[in-house]
Chain A
């Protein structure tokens, strides 16, 4: 120790003077627990969110919907735990007296520590998001990145950091951090258990990426614009919650001048009001016809217009056209439907095109949702047959072969029935011809009691109703077998000649060759 003031050389760590808060933030960034938790958070993200997200079909809407809740859950524990650890630092390290007697107000000091924690959490999160978005950008055939779900997850991290930090500050114990990590994970995970239908306040939970009963839905944002109503409400809620929690940190006596505490109280109150308003808004949400949550107060009617797109079409006997977002499914769709289309291509009344349609959604009781297709499957002067891909329907993610199988057994009969006029009220001959064509196309193996029994049951929906072949041994079944056994040219010739009469119901079973 020297009594004289010898000219001192600046030490390396302090050579660059800057704004004091920025320097403080720099120091906090260098010594933040979240820095050490970043690899943990990234690993959790990869194992719980990344792999699952990238394993789903390369559709922007589907991937971000998978990513949002899983990313929030993956980051919840590391972020809340690290923030709680930083919040309890002064007490744990017994520096409370030392820092409290400095001129910088306590709330400013705490805010900087929280900001450093949040910064690292966001850096880790954004790096993970960049990987998912980068890979999806290379794989997706159509559409643009959806940013709202990513913003919701980012806002969740700020809120989780604020909550964890507040817990650490208020209950400064070494057990607070692990406890905060556990509570954050379970609170988020369990928050979805109380959702009941589309009009639920619990939709505000950041682990909800859309109608909870539907789950990740590839349909969202493909035929109609993505509705940011629910993410907006979630971001408003999370921003309000963050402000309220951070404001509450400045409330205790000793945090500063009365004016500062009053301002903090105002921020806390405003934050709570904003968060409460967002919860109420989420409660007014309803499942719209396009499978998204519409919140009237936040809804932009312009979003209800269908998106314009140029369909991608194949080269089957009757061209199959899909929404470009589903372009990757076209080869499988063609392979599944080509045998069926070959049976009716060129016949009078046969569809000129097979076109993918948008699904429509209707909220049922509880968490049930009805999914179907609006209007008639076939229509127009040059008839177009509309159908839904099985992947558009709610349910587990399908492999390509599963999807093709469902498509063949669900949509194939619909296409043929639209040509033969089969359906409710149709004659037995019409039913027999439809069955015969399915047998010829290999969809219904001859001798099978009902169509499609050797394939997974098709999902419900337009073009997806389960087709019931005539009972084996019945006259209709025998006629179908007989008709299917004819050479293709003979069958086609007969149909060309008699299809009009068959559709009009003027042909009986005995008149079938």
Chain B
């Protein structure tokens, strides 16, 4: 298992964002669903080693990220796209991706081809020399994805990756996810259930800091067969699980 989480909790002051989450994920695309404020981003940030857990056990790629040396090893093999992508306006697409390749301590000799490949995979090859300040929101999102995958990560964490992408790009992105998921563990946090249905083999649904469902998209769909509300089968499963989890 590339991700092993046991009783993971994260508090911000009096607020408990993540409350004793247990989760395991191997290679493949793992969808993390949940309403706003469910704790998805906090869980993803802990998995990205951006913030430490308040309590609980977290193992990533077979290592304990709370210790420095294993954490550094994990970070070399990690890709992360935050919900709000920050970027340096003066950098070009290629420079931005190269910058992160260098920060991820990729072997210097491999970087040029890796950057070119990452930029190509997100469909920005013809804009690689464009400054980030000139790009649209969707393009910036793709730049964020490029920097996340430049090191061919074994663990890829994507927080709302399809936000801002047009339908065509979204379809292409799902194909990219499926391709990447053949070798790596990809955790996709989203509230767009169709992304999960199209690309994810496993899905977890979070609500108020807890995992309230863990299974396949088909199992989630089945939950909504009778009681759920929504236009699509997966949406009905989503709403049914949430309704059942709430008092």
User: Chain A: residues with CB nearer than 8 A to chain B?
Assistant: 1-6, 8-20, 23-24, 27, 30-31, 89-90, 93-104, 109, 256-258
Contacts and interface: CB of A to CB of B under 8 A. Distances in A.
B105 interface: yes
Given A2-B172, A13-B92, A14-B115, A93 B179 contact: no
Given A1-B145, A17-B110, A97-B82, 10 more contacts: A1-B123, A1-B172, A1-B176, A8-B116, A10-B112, A10-B116, A27-B99, A102-B105, A103-B72, A103-B75
Q: Across the A-B interface, give the 9 residue pairs with the lowest CB-CB distance, nearest first.
A: A94-B86, A102-B103, A95-B86, A257-B68, A1-B172, A3-B175, A3-B179, A14-B112, A11-B94
Nearest to B100: A102
Contacts of B72: 103
Contacts of A17: 108-112
A97 B117 contact: no
Contact of A20 (B95, B108, B147): B108
A10 B129 CA distance: 12
Contact of A2 (B88, B106, B121): B121
24 contacts: A1-B121, A1-B173, A2-B121, A2-B175, A3-B176, A8-B116, A8-B125, A11-B94, A11-B119, A11-B125, A13-B94, A15-B112, A23-B111, A24-B99, A30-B95, A31-B90, A95-B86, A98-B85, A101-B50, A101-B75, A101-B80, A102-B75, A102-B105, A258-B68
A95 B120 contact: no
B37 to A, nearest CB: 18
Interface in B58-97: 68-69, 72-73, 75-76, 78, 80, 82, 84-95
A11 B128 contact: yes
A94 B84 CA distance: 8
B108 A18 contact: yes
Nearest to A1: B172
Contacts of A6: 120
Contacts of B116: 8-11, 14
Nearest to B172: A1
Contacts of B111: 14, 17, 20, 23
B182 to A, nearest CB: 10
Contact of B50 (A8, A20, A27, A100): A100
B85 A23 contact: no
Contact of B98 (A3, A23, A96, A104): A23
Contacts of B69: 257
Contacts of B80: 97-98, 101
B90 A1 contact: no
B229 interface: no
B223 interface: no
A249 to B, nearest CB: 17
A193 B31 CA distance: 66
A93 B105 contact: no
A2 B169 CA distance: 10
Nearest to A89: B88
A304 B109 CA distance: 57
Contact of A93 (B87, B100, B119): B87
Given A13-B92, A257-B68, A1 B175 contact: yes
B48 interface: yes
A33 to B, nearest CB: 10
Given A3-B178, A257-B69, A98 B86 contact: yes
Interface residues of B, number: 60
A13 B116 CA distance: 10
B113 A10 contact: yes
Contact of A1 (B88, B112, B169): B169
Interface in B151-202: 169, 172-173, 175-176, 178-179
A3 B174 CA distance: 9
Interface of B: 45, 48-50, 68-69, 72-73, 75-76, 78, 80, 82, 84-95, 98-100, 102-106, 108-113, 115-117, 119-123, 125, 128-129, 142, 145, 147, 169, 172-173, 175-176, 178-179
A101 B49 contact: yes
A302 to B, nearest CB: 49
A103 B87 contact: no
B113 A8 contact: yes
Contacts of A19: 108
A462 B93 CA distance: 72
A5 B117 contact: yes
A9 B122 CA distance: 14
B12 to A, nearest CB: 15
A13 B119 CA distance: 12
A98 B48 CA distance: 9
Contacts of A14: 94, 98, 111-112, 115-116
Contact of A104 (B49, B103, B110): B103
Nearest to A96: B86
Nearest to B84: A94
Contact of B95 (A8, A9, A13, A104): A13
A109 B106 CA distance: 15
A1 B123 CA distance: 4
A284 to B, nearest CB: 44
A141 B103 CA distance: 54
Contacts of A98: 80, 82, 85-86, 100, 147
Contacts of A9: 116, 125
B153 to A, nearest CB: 11
A10 to B, nearest CB: 5
Nearest to B124: A1
A98 B86 CA distance: 8
Nearest to A258: B68
Contacts of B173: 1
B164 to A, nearest CB: 13
A183 to B, nearest CB: 26
B201 to A, nearest CB: 16
Nearest to A108: B103
A30 B129 CA distance: 14
Nearest to A92: B86
A4 B179 contact: yes
B102 to A, nearest CB: 5
A97 B105 contact: no
Nearest to B180: A3
The residue in A17, A95, A98 that gathers the most chain B C-beta atoms within 10 A of its C-beta is A98
A23 B104 CA distance: 13
Nearest to B121: A2
A98 to B, nearest CB: 6
The residue in A1, A6, A23, A101 that gathers the most chain B C-beta atoms within 10 A of its C-beta is A1
Nearest to B117: A8
Contact of B88 (A12, A24, A93): A93
Contacts of B76: 103
